[in-house]
Amino acid sequence: MAHLTTEEVREALRRVVDPEIQHNIVDLGLIYDIDIAPDGAVTITMTLTTPFCPLGAEILRGVKEALYAAGAETVNVDLVWNPLWTPARMAPALKELLGIEE
């Protein structure tokens, strides 16, 4: 089986929506790194909008489900808090949509 590419992983993650903000986790800037090992294992380094996110477990489950559905055989998610997420990490189009000034 062919391994996923970084872009395929990113597209799969765009299907994962933060239930509170109703936008995907890629455009929100929650994904810090995507690593694909030689054996095809996918490791995602990510954060949440707050360490106290009440729906964090749901988002993490969504990440794994999206990547398995895209064809990943092994998925690891490293949840980090450094650096802390800020709205500055959002995609410019999403900032504009939400009325957040740079």
60: domain CATH number is 3.30.300.130
Position 3 pLDDT exceeds 70: yes
What is the count of structural domains for the chain?
1
Q: What is the structure's pLDDT at 13?
A: 99
* pLDDT tens digit sequence for 54-102: 999 999 999 999 999 999 999 999 999 999 999 999 999 999 998 888 6
User: Cα separations (Å) of 49 from 6, 21, 36, 45, 96?
Assistant: 23, 10, 24, 14, 18
- Contact yes or no for 9/37 (Cβ under 8 A): no
Q: Is residue 99 included in any domain, yes or no? A: no
- Contact yes or no for 102/95 (Cβ under 8 A): yes
- Structural domain including 19 reads 6-88
Q: What is the structure's pLDDT at 101?
A: 82
Q: Is residue 1 included in any domain, yes or no? A: no
* pLDDT tens digit sequence for 17-67: 999 999 999 999 999 999 999 999 999 999 999 999 999 999 999 999 999
Q: Is residue 35 included in any domain, yes or no? A: yes
Q: Is residue 96 included in any domain, yes or no? A: no
Q: Is residue 72 included in any domain, yes or no? A: yes
Q: Is residue 26 included in any domain, yes or no? A: yes
Q: Is residue 93 included in any domain, yes or no? A: no
Q: Is residue 64 included in any domain, yes or no? A: yes
